[in-house]
């Protein structure tokens, strides 16, 4: 394949189906795929919960119960406050991000070719490789960090921590304390979002580059990368979930 056509192929596959301009650009493909995956997650878990049986549990019920128990144990070990909201949140984050990541195993040309039949020029179905999605989720976690900081310490305690930790309560140290704590607060969602985005974006690029090879040469590197990537997919979802729990725990507890 010529260098120009190869560049065009890669560029084309990295374009989103978008509306709007500038800051208010909406990636329709990311939004639709995320909503569909979220509804699948909700539908499957709700259906299994309604049909749950202690006498003869189905295979999917056993699998879901194992996942729920595993995540509940992770929350119990890391978060020492009331976990009535944190445990379902951790489960939702893990499963939703896992489903996001699984989209990377679908052949890169499948959905673009299907959507071309409907006159849609660009489409990407991997939300994890869209910085808007990963940062949207991570900044939602930042809002929860602030909420749990106030919930665990009170508004006065949270304010005191912002201005008096870690260097001390002297008024001359307040600006330095506040600046350091704000940087730390912002760094948490940035690290969450960048870690997930970076890993999945790189994986998507590699799949696109493999697709540039002749069809007969795609199978070996494609299968090898997919097998390796199967390990990365749940690991990234797990890391995002665990760090969320840890950040909420640190926010809730007194320093």
- Residue 16, token pair as written in the block: 């989103």
Q: Is 55 left (phi over 0), alpha (psi -120 to 50) or beta?
A: alpha
CA distance between the termini of the chain: 59
- Residue 209, token pair as written in the block: 């580059």
Q: Which of 34, 78, 199, 249 is catalytic?
A: 199
Separation of alpha carbons 58 and 86, rounded Å? 27
Q: CB–CB of 134/237 below 8 Å?
A: no
Q: What angle do CA 15, 10, 240 make, to 5 degrees?
A: 65
Rounded to the nearest 10 degrees, what angle do helices 215-252 and 59-78 cross at? 40
Dihedral sign from CA coordinates of 171, 172, 175, 177:
negative
Q: What angle do CA 169, 173, 175 make, to 5 degrees?
A: 120
Residue 73 among the catalytic residues? no
Residue 124 among the catalytic residues? no
Alpha helices in the chain (DSSP H): 3-13, 28-50, 59-78, 86-102, 110-116, 131-164, 174-211, 215-252
Q: Is 19 left (phi over 0), alpha (psi -120 to 50) or beta?
A: beta
Q: Which of 5, 58, 73, 191 is catalytic?
A: 191
Residue 195 among the catalytic residues? yes
Q: Which of 132, 140, 181, 195 is catalytic?
A: 195
The residues carrying an active-site annotation are 191, 195, 199
């Amino acid at each position: 394949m010529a260098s120009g056509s190869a560049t065009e192929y890669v560029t084309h596959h990295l374009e989103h189906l978008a509306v709007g301009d500038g800051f208010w650009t909406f990636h329709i493909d990311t939004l639709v795929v995320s909503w569909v995956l979220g509804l699948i997650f909700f539908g499957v878990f709700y259906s299994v919960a309604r049909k749950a049986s202690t006498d003869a549990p189905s295979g999917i019920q056993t699998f879901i119960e194992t996942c729920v128990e595993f995540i509940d144990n992770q929350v119990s070990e890391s978060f020492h406050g009331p976990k009535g909201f944190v445990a379902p949140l951790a489960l939702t984050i893990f499963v939703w991000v896992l489903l996001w990541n699984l989209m990377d195993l679908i052949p890169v040309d499948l959905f673009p070719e299907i959507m071309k039949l409907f006159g849609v020029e660009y489409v990407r179905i991997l939300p994890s490789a869209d910085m808007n999605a990963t940062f949207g989720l991570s900044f939602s976690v930042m809002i929860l960090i602030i909420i749990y900081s106030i919930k665990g310490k009170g508004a006065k305690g949270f304010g005191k921590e912002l201005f008096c930790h870690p260097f001390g309560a002297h008024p001359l140290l307040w600006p330095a304390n506040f600046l350091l704590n704000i940087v730390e607060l912002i760094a948490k969602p940035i690290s969450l979002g960048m870690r997930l985005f970076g890993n999945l974006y790189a994986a998507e690029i590699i799949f696109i580059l493999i697709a540039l090879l002749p069809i007969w040469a795609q199978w070996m590197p494609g299968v090898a990368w997919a097998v390796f990537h199967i390990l990365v997919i749940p690991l990234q979802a797990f890391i995002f979930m665990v760090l969320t729990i840890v950040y909420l725990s640190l926010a809730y507890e007194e320093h």
